[in-house]
Amino acid sequence: MTVREVIRMGHPSLRVPAVPYSSELLGSAEFNELVSDMRETLHAYGGIGLAAPQIDVSLRIVVIEIENTSTRYGNIEHTPFEVYINPTITSIAEETAGYWEGCLSVPGMMGYVERPQHIRVDYLTSEGAEKSLEAHGFLATVFQHEFDHLDGTLYVDRIKDLSLFSFEEEFAQFHADTKNENGLSETD
Ligand code: NI
């Protein structure tokens, strides 16, 4: 297992739509190595989600793991480690909500983004099973943030009011108690 370097905003690879992963390669040595490196990298950087393009691998693979549910992230549903391959998102209600998001590829910054808050996620597991789940609230934001990386989109693209784009220190000083209780939601 290797901790890979997380590339940062400005690196062109973050802006390229990633390629669907061939299900025939699931379980291969190459696949297992990539997933274990992504997990190791996620832990080393202290994130809760990581998309393959963030380690400069242009494949539609995301890992998400939320172990500690009461941290600087606020109160988050416990979400065991899972690999999401070729995921798609369907919005199943019109309701949106905003959270402050952060990104390992945009270190030191936070921004307020509104997104649909009731979604269905369809994906392949690392064993090749087709799975669906529904996500609400903050977790719905986490999925959307991560899957955006697969399309070359960063959360900064979705900030409508740039007065709500902030360094972390200024966020803590001026914004942490605004908006909503779960306002702090550093996603990956
Ligand atoms: Ni991110």
Distance between Cα 104 and ligand 1 center (Å): 6
Q: Which helix (H) or strand (E) holds 147?
A: helix 137-149
Distance between Cα 103 and ligand 1 center (Å): 4
Which structural domains are found in the chain, ordered by start? 12-175 (3.90.45.10)
Phi/psi of residue 86, nearest 5 degrees: 50, 50
Of residues 146, 169, 181, 186, which has the active-site annotation? 146
Separation between Cα atoms, residue 45 and residue 42, nearest integer Å: 5
Distance between Cα 121 and ligand 1 center (Å): 18
pLDDT at 51 exceeding the cut of 80:
yes
pLDDT in tens, 70-91: 545 556 778 999 999 999 999 9
pLDDT in tens, 127-180: 999 999 999 999 999 999 999 999 999 999 999 999 999 999 999 999 987 654
For this structure, is 146 an active site residue? yes
